[in-house]
């Protein structure tokens, strides 16, 4: 069996599809595209938030390290 993974499945050309369905499918495709865009935006936002959290954590670690080093120097 041939795998279709990673390949876009091609749709039938417009001439073979009835005209009344054409409008419907165009609207559906528009909706799908909008949904996909929204999902992508959400994913990007999540990634950004995660990155920010990581950066904050790293900053905290560095600050702690510095305070420990300063403490060692004093004694």
Structure pTM? 0.30
pLDDT band at 7 (very low <50, low <70, confident <90, very high): low
Q: Under a CB-based contact definition with an 8 Å cutoff, are residues 33 and 26 in contact?
A: no
Structure tokens at 54: 């990581």
Residues 15-38: tens digit of each pLDDT: 565 666 677 788 888 888 888 888
Query: Of the given ranges (12-21, 32-41, 42-51, 54-63), which has the lowest mean pLDDT?
Result: 12-21
Choice between 16 and 41, residue whose per-residue pLDDT is larger = 41
Contact 42, 34 (CB under 8 A): no
């Amino acid at each position: 069996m041939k795998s279709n993974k990673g390949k876009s499945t091609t749709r039938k050309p417009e001439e073979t599809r009835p005209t009344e369905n054409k409008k419907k499918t165009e609207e559906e495709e528009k909706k799908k595209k909008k949904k996909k865009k929204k999902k992508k935006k959400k994913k990007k936002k999540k990634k950004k938030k995660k990155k920010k959290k990581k950066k904050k954590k790293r900053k905290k670690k560095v600050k702690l390290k510095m305070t420990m080093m300063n403490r060692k120097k004093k004694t």
